Structure 1
Amino acid sequence: MRNLIETKQTTATTANCKARRGKMKPPPSPFQMLLQIELLVISTAFLLLFLVIFGSCRRRCNSDKFRLVIFAAYTLSSYVLAYALGLMYSIPFHNPLFPIWAMFLMIALGSADSLSAYSLEDTEKWKSYNWQLGIKSIWLGLLIGLHNNDISNKIILFACLFFIWALKCDERSRALMAASRQSLERSTKVVADYMSREHENGGVSRGEVDPVSMRGYRYVVRGEEERWAKNLVLMRFIKWCLGKKEPAPAAGLPPAPHYRMPLEKEDELITVEKVWKCEGRLLSQGGDPHDKLKDTCLSFALFKLLRLRYAGYSLPQKAHDNTWKLIRDGLLSQEDGYKRAFRVVEVELTFLFDFLYTKYSIIFQPGRLLLKLAEFVYVTLGIWYTTSILKNYRKHCDINKPATLPNGLVIDILMTRVMIILFIIVELMQFFFIWFSEWAKVIWICKYVQKKSWQGNVWIERMIRAICWVQLLKPWEQKLRQYSFLKSYSYKPCRLLNNKLMAVYIDQTRDGQRQSSPIKLPEDVKQAVFDALKLNYGTKLENGQASLRVKKVFGKLSWACQLETETQVIMVWHIATSFCEHQQPVRSNSPGTRRNFLVATSLSKYLAYLVAFAPRLLPDHPCVAESVFDQAIVEAREFFGRCNKTEDRVREMERKGRGSSAHEETVINRGARLGIQLVNDIEREDMIWRILADFWVELVLYVAPSDDVKAHAEHLTRGGEFVTHLWALLSHAGIERDHPTKPRNALERSKSL
């Protein structure tokens, strides 16, 4: 009886299990799993192609949607790789193409030369990236052993693919490490020590420099990289084979008393002075009439000085004085000198962007270009061996009936061929970008300066000129982003995405944060700002008060420059400028008045944009700037009530602003009072816009010397900011604000894991 009961229970349990199994989704078939793997592999190939083409476009585009797509492609590539490797390992049949696909996926992980890091935080996690890479390598080895019982016929293929993978991943690892704070401090110390020695007693003196002929400007362009290239194992091995002995390093610290790192063979360095002294036809007035080729080297030298600021090093005051003389009497000496100065800074920031977010700084290290050429050879061999293996794929496949198309072509073979084609396109495009990059131009020009035999070779000069005159894309977006407080204060973002729940996932859009359409950076704005910079013979800046003294209206309007925070000053003057824009539109045909109107309104809306969208670039603490902006939005809604049109709001400002005083606490009241004061007290229309234009030009220069270096570096990936270009220029000149608001700190050291 007991056995009968147990038998019935067992039968019932079995029946229940079968019933549950019948309701469960059946496991995917081998064909479905194979299809998933193929889709993942081909998707990764397309992600790689997308990153290669558009990786560097972040510095030319400020679109949030575009950055989101780049971030998705950058992030998904790693997760797709891990998931695809897991499927290949767990699939119930063997496929000899799986290891090849896996190798191509691993190569794709470090292939995009134009995007090594999405953000600065990624550069600080370079050790974590290396550990993850090591774990994936073990996984790849297990996969090769599982799906290849006989790898003797594929040993050359795997050797080629392994070399390509190791080189690409090593480049990305070293690029991340080089851009990290800790590594940057070490690598730039040699340049910092060199600049300190150059501007001390016995070095460059104040009277020896000439910003036209560049005499005395021994800023390093190329040469100090050789010091770090000695650490390359391959270079040391080659020197050992050739019987060259390296000098024994000095024990302990560099020699006293300053413990500075020496630069070996300083006389062989390529400096700015040597580039300008070069007598070759390529760099002469006939071959380089506007100094564009030489200015590329100047931009590279200034980029190395900007890295010192980023790493937290300071230069002697004499170095800043000489650079200020270079800017004022060299770059800005001609009538259209502002174009040259802006071009030099543009290329300089291009180098900084590439150093922080791409692999170019590693690729163009001494000896690395030979490895890049070897990589091209191995890519060719790997593709050739892969195509030969595809011919025998049907014989070695464990699947009885591989998936085929109606024309008899095996889907696996088709997918592999598509992947190979995409891989070829990616490699050719990357070599094309590298060949015509700004880094390549600097190397070719420096080689030309260094080798006297090249200076008389017509063909070499033509080749270098052809490379240097090709510009694939413009360096930056070259747009001035705008924000109008009177038009946007009533804006309310969608609460579906902007709430406390979504705040931990996406950046929140606050009330009133609606950007106006950006405008192309006007030439008049650049000229006005650089002309004002040239006329500033001091080393301190003021927040617009100097321009009021020059226009003899300091006593009337200075109260609007002496508010509690600089953010309030910007908002008050922006509201007043918007008031004048509607109350005193330009009616005169005078080019000067129209120019002042354009400069004033453009810079007013640009600085208001910085308040609303980029407060870290302003003198005040970011939280203070955000608080002032949020409070101004609340005050404006109460002040204007139900005024829906801009014209009605301007009339409301005129009605309520007459009775307000300088001691009113609200930003909107102060702005209305200042606007009415400008319209009523300044009788001439042209004088109003001249006062406003000069004020905004001085204020944007005052804002530019930000102490938050990291914020400027992050904005390089968002299309670039006009204030960042000014920041770089003023940093070289050592020009500061009258009253610094925070300590000059570059970046906080953070762990790499």
Structure 2
Amino acid sequence: MLTSAVTVSHQWPQVSVDPQRRLNPLDTQAKARKVEGEADMDANGRYMESMLAVWNEWEIRMLVLTSLALQVFLLFFAGIRKRNVSAALSLLLWLAYLLADSIAIYALGYLSQTRVPKAFKRTHRIQALWAPFLLLHLGGQDTITAFSIEDNELWKRHLLSLLTQVGLAVYVFTKSHPGADILAPAVFMFVSGIVEYGERTWALRCASMDNLRSGMVTTPDPGPNYAKFMEEYRFTREAGLQAEIVIEQERRAEAAAVAAGVAEETVPYTEVIADASRFFVIFKRLFANLILSFQERTRSQATFLRLTPEQAYKVIEIELSLMYDTLHSKAAVIHTWYGRLLRCLTLLSTSTACLLFNVLLRHRKGKQHQSSYSHVDVCITNILFGGALCLEVYAIGMMLISYWTHAALRSCNFSFLSNLIFRSIQYFRPESRSKWSNLMAQHNLISFCLLDKPTVLTKVLSVLGLKGHWDSWLHIRHIDVSHELKIVVFRELKDKTASIVDAESYRKFSNHRGRWALQCKGYYKELGWSVEVEFDESILLWHIATDLCFHSGDDAGDVKVAPFVEVSRAMSNYMLFLLVARPFMLTAGIGQIRFGDTCAEARNFFGTAAHPDAGAAARTVLGLSAEIAPRDVKGDRSKSVLFDACRLAKSLLELPPRKRWRVIRAVWVRVEMLCYAASKCRSNFHAKQLSGGGELLTVVWFLMAHLGVGEQYRIEAGHARAKLIVEKN
């Protein structure tokens, strides 16, 4: 078979191709990569949009849950700080305290600006119910209203915030056009939120210093009518009658007489709580810089002189705990008749809101066969309800088993209820548990100079102004306040109180800074110069001298001397800590300048030889001849006292070990240095330390006040009773 091939000719258009632009395989790959990159960018863009949508969906949910978590943390851990000195806990509480308000306010603002698509408007309408919960969170917890006492002075700012945030929450809720199933629960939650926020603002106002002072000032008392009395006296004389004015002073019992008639005894714990609650009402005036009368001193002495040292300290611990509650919590509000009524109101209101929400939600589901609300939002709302109820119940439980409630029931003669509360207090707050940290900080100059080496880190911290915080964290430690130290302080104060017979001696007692101790021991002539200088210089002198005597090795192995050494060194290191880290608690001076100059001279001296430890360094200092006063050689430009302390230590080393450490203990522990520092510290600085675990200086200050020692008592004359006696002719 023959086949014919047919050739078909196609006329293609002629295209002129530039030889330089001919298709290149590399260009093809580049274009492919560009297309793939654009596809990846589109995919990444869609992924980012998806992630952004998820974040927008969950942002407000995470905010309200975080706000609730912060409230739980503050409720359980805020009260711990009054008996804990941990810097980490303090930092966490500070962050939680600031973030709790910031997050709640931001969440309210977020809700007010929310724009949701129409398709989701009904689904997310339940989020408007979260606004009153945020108000509840802004009201804070009963355990903390102010992180520091300075926060109490900002109560007017919190009042303004209360008004604005309540208005914003109402705006957020009304803007969402809520249905009847949300409206009723929201009204009850608004009641709880506004009451809680109002309680916090009122507690801050009550704890401000101006309000504390005005609330403790006694009612103005003009006394007997002097003008009328003198008019009667004048008329009697003008009538020709023989008249005479006889004045009888009010009788008062002095401490010596009180101490002689009272024997020390152990009283039940319920009496300790009752005494603390009774005296707190009186002695809290000290924190407002108010004075006390001799009648109050007599009543306090009559109680404290019969208590054992352990129970006397327990009374003071409870009083300081009550003062902490007054300054940093809602105690001043909730432990009143209206406060307890409001607490019942908030619990009832929150419970009703929770019940209504779930009943109406179930009714809505049954009617429409499905809920139009987001299941996640419903779960979060129930978590908020559950959290609010649990926090409320826990707070009420804490309120019931408190010293405040026990004292109130006892004063109303509700014996059964007060005994029930007391048993609960014994279980949850046993007598053996300390109500403050029971710690004293320790700072040692010689060890600090040996360990504080200049590094790149310390130079950077110095530039940033953080070197002091670094030194506090690295070189300051805490030890327990020993039972022996407490006993010695109490016994010494008690003995001196019983030996004082006039009002002037009470006030002068706290002005001694070791002079009395040296005079009693018979060494004032040789060592008196060390306590006649400024107080900060005296602390440095005796601190370094105590260390030099300890490292000299003369008393090594003497068992009878060991207790004196331990107590003396603990008090010496504590007083240096106050000088360096708490200078505001001591009298005004140049203590930090003296400390810095002394450290600089010590580093220069220690740098001339290798000193592996503090003992070798101390022995090197003692080996230096210091017959001439350093000031006569160096002048007065440097405030260092290193070699003045060396002279003092050499004078002490001339004494036998037992006498030496008895003298040192007398200066430190026979409460003269301690009492002087405690009495000169301003009351607001004592109050400031209550939130940081408490301070031994504050405990001693309160013990002095209860035993009548110090300058707190200015009313000594008492009530005079003038009688006009007329003799008939």
Q: TM-score range by the shorter chain?
A: 0.7 to 0.9
Match among 481, 491, 511 for residue 452 of structure 2? 491
Partner of 1:387: 358
- Output aligned runs, 1:71-86, within 5 Å: 71-86=94-109
What corresponds to 1:561 in structure 2?
531
Change (3 A) 1:481 1:111: same
Mean Cα deviation higher: 50-59 or 368-377? 368-377
- Alpha carbons of structure 1 residues 463 and 23: separation in structure 2 relative to 1, 3 Å: closer
Residue 168 of structure 1: CA displacement? 1.0
- Aligned partner of 1:226 in structure 2 is none
Q: Paired residue for 2:377?
A: 412
Partner amino acid, structure 1, of 2:437: E
Contact 1:662–1:670, Cα closer than 8 Å, also in 2: yes
> Aligned AA for 2:376?
I
- Partner SS state of residue 108, structure 1: helix
CA contact (8 A) 2:188 2:349 kept: yes
Aligned to 2:22: none
Offset, 1:158: 1.8
* CA 1:49–1:202: 2 relative to 1, 3 Å: farther
Q: What is the letter of the counterpart of residue 424 of structure 2?
A: I
Q: Following TM superposition, by how much is the alpha carbon of 1:590 offset from its aligned partner in structure 2, in angstroms?
A: 4.7
Is 1:45–1:108's contact at 8 Å kept on the other side of the alignment? yes
CA distance in 1, matches of 2:563, 2:555: 10
2:409 corresponds to which letter in structure 1? Answer: W
Alpha carbons 2:493, 2:707 under 8 Å: kept: no
In structure 1, how many angstroms separate the alpha carbons of the residues matched to 2:251 and 2:424?
A: 37
Alignment CA distance shift 1:153-1:212 (3 Å) = farther
| Alpha-carbon contact 2:136-2:197 (below 8 Å) kept | yes
Partner of 1:135: 164
Residue 214 of structure 1 deviates from its aligned partner by 12
2:717 equivalent in structure 1: none
Deviation at 1:213, TM superposition (A): 13
**How far apart, CA to CA, are the structure 1 residues paired with 2:381 and 2:391?**
15
- Alignment partner of 1:124 out of 153, 160, 165: 153
Q: Secondary structure of the residue that 1:190 maps to in structure 2? A: coil
Identify which of 701, 712, 715 aligns with 2:689.
715
Query: Structure 1 residue 686 and structure 2 residue 687: aligned?
Result: no
Residue 154 (structure 1) aligns with: 182
Residue 527 of structure 1, CA deviation: 0.8
User: Residue 273 of structure 2: which of 296, 299, 303 is its match?
Assistant: 296
1:368 aligns with: 339
* Residue 478 of structure 1: aligned partner: 438
Match of 2:539 among 570, 583, 592: 570
Match of 1:509 in 2: 469
Q: 2:305 maps to what in 1? A: 332
- Residue 438 of structure 1 is aligned with which of 382, 403, 413? 403
Alignment of 1:185 with 2:158, yes or no, is: no
For the pair 1:546 / 2:508, whether they are aligned, the reply is: no
Deviation at 1:293, TM superposition (A): 1.9
Give the C-alpha shift of residue 100 in structure 1.
1.9
Q: 2:623 aligns with which of 648, 655, 672?
A: 655
2-structure distance, mates of 1:627, 1:86: 49
User: 1:582 aligns to what SS in structure 2?
Assistant: helix
Contact 2:277 2:407 in 1 (8 A): yes
Distance 1:510 1:517, change over 3 A: closer
How far apart are residue 331 of structure 1 and its match?
1.8
CA shift for structure 1 position 635: 2.0
Q: 1:535 to 1:207 in 2, by over 3 A?
A: closer
Note closer, same or farther for the CA distance 1:521–1:445 as it changes in structure 2 (3 Å cut). Answer: same
* Structure with the higher helix share, 1 or 2: 2
Q: Distance in 1 between matches of 2:58 and 2:126?
A: 13
**Further displaced range: 295-304 or 113-122:** 295-304
Select between 202-211 and 690-699 the one with higher mean Cα deviation. Answer: 202-211
| Kept in 1: contact 2:436–2:694 (CA 8 A) | yes
Q: Call closer, same or farther: CA 1:126–1:214 in 2, change over 3 Å.
A: farther
Equivalent position amino acid for 2:214 in 1 = R
Distance in 1 of aligned mates of 2:147 and 2:223: 32
Aligned length: 615
| 1:634 and 2:595 aligned | no
Quick one: which amino acid aligns to residue 189 of structure 1?
A: V
Residue 574 of structure 1, CA deviation:
0.7
Root-mean-square deviation (Å): 3.6
Could you tell me which amino acid in structure 2 is paired with residue 163 of structure 1?
V
Separation in 1, partners of 2:571, 2:524: 21
CA displacement 1:199-244 (0-9 Å, x = unmatched): xx999741499969999xxxxxxxxxxxxxxxxxxxxxxxxxxxxx
Q: Which residue of 1 aligns with 2:721?
A: none
What residue is the counterpart of 1:90 in the other structure?
113
Q: Is the 8 A contact 1:498 1:509 kept in 2?
A: no
Shift of 1:392: 7.0
Cα distance in 2 between the residues matched to 1:214 and 1:145: 72
Return the match for 2:322 from 351, 362, 368.
351
CA offset at residue 375 of structure 1? 2.1
Q: How does 1:188-267 map to 2 (within 5 A)?
A: 188-190=216-218, 205-207=251-253
2:601 is aligned with what amino acid? Answer: E
2:347 touches 2:393 (CA, 8 Å); kept in 1?
Answer: no
Residue 62 (structure 1) aligned with residue 85 (structure 2): yes
The corresponding residue for 1:534 is 494
Alpha carbons 2:458, 2:467 under 8 Å: kept: no
Q: Aligned to 1:736, what secondary structure does the other structure show?
A: coil
Q: Specify the alignment match of 1:700 in structure 2.
A: 674
Change (3 A) 1:146 1:574: same
Sort the Cα spacing of 1:522 and 1:390 in 2 relative to 1 into closer, same or farther, 3 A. Answer: farther
Residue from 582, 590, 594 that aligns with 2:551:
582
Q: Please give the alpha-carbon distance, in whole angstroms, between the structure 2 residues aligned to 1:720 and 1:31.
A: 48
Paired residue secondary structure (2:434): coil
CA contact (8 A) 1:305 1:732 kept: no
Shift of 1:649: 0.9
Task: Find the aligned partners of 2:169 and 2:612 in 1 and give their Cα distance.
Answer: 63
CA distance in 1, matches of 2:708, 2:48: 69
Deviation, 1:382, is: 1.8
Task: Quote the offset at 1:88 in angstroms.
Answer: 1.9
How far does the alpha carbon of each residue in 1:708-744 deviate from its partner, in whole angstroms, 9 at most, with x for none? 1111111111110011011123245553389xxxxxx
**Aligned position for 1:613:** 581
Question: Partner letter of residue 691 of structure 1?
Answer: V
Aligned residue in 1 for 2:478: 518
For the Cα contact (< 8 Å) 1:293–1:468, is it kept in 2? no
Query: 1:666: Cα distance to partner?
Result: 2.6
Q: TM-score, normalised by structure 1?
A: 0.74
Amino acid at match of 1:71: W
Alignment CA distance shift 1:96-1:211 (3 Å)? farther
Deviation at 1:594, TM superposition (A): 2.8
Is the contact between residue 578 and residue 601 of structure 1 (CA under 8 Å) also seen in structure 2? yes
CA 1:310/1:561 → structure 2, altered by over 3 Å: closer, same or farther? same
**Residues 687 and 717 of structure 1, relative CA distance in 2, 3 Å threshold:** same
> Is it true that 1:596 corresponds to 2:553 in the alignment?
no
Larger radius of gyration: 2
Q: Please report how far the alpha carbon of residue 91 of structure 1 lies from its aligned counterpart in structure 2 after TM superposition.
A: 2.3
2:389 aligned counterpart, secondary structure: helix
Q: Deviations over 1:16-52 (max 9, x none)?
A: xxx9xx8998697553212111111111111000110
Q: Does the 8 Å contact 1:715/1:721 carry over to 2?
A: yes
**The one of 625, 634, 638 aligned to 2:591:** 625
Deviation of the 1:673 alpha carbon: 1.8
Between the aligned residues of both structures, percent identity stands at 21
What is the letter of the counterpart of residue 543 of structure 1? R
- Does structure 2 retain, via aligned residues, the 8 Å contact 1:488–1:513? no
Partner of 1:97, secondary structure, is helix
- Report the residue type matching 1:361 in the other structure: A
Q: Name 2:34's counterpart in structure 1.
A: none
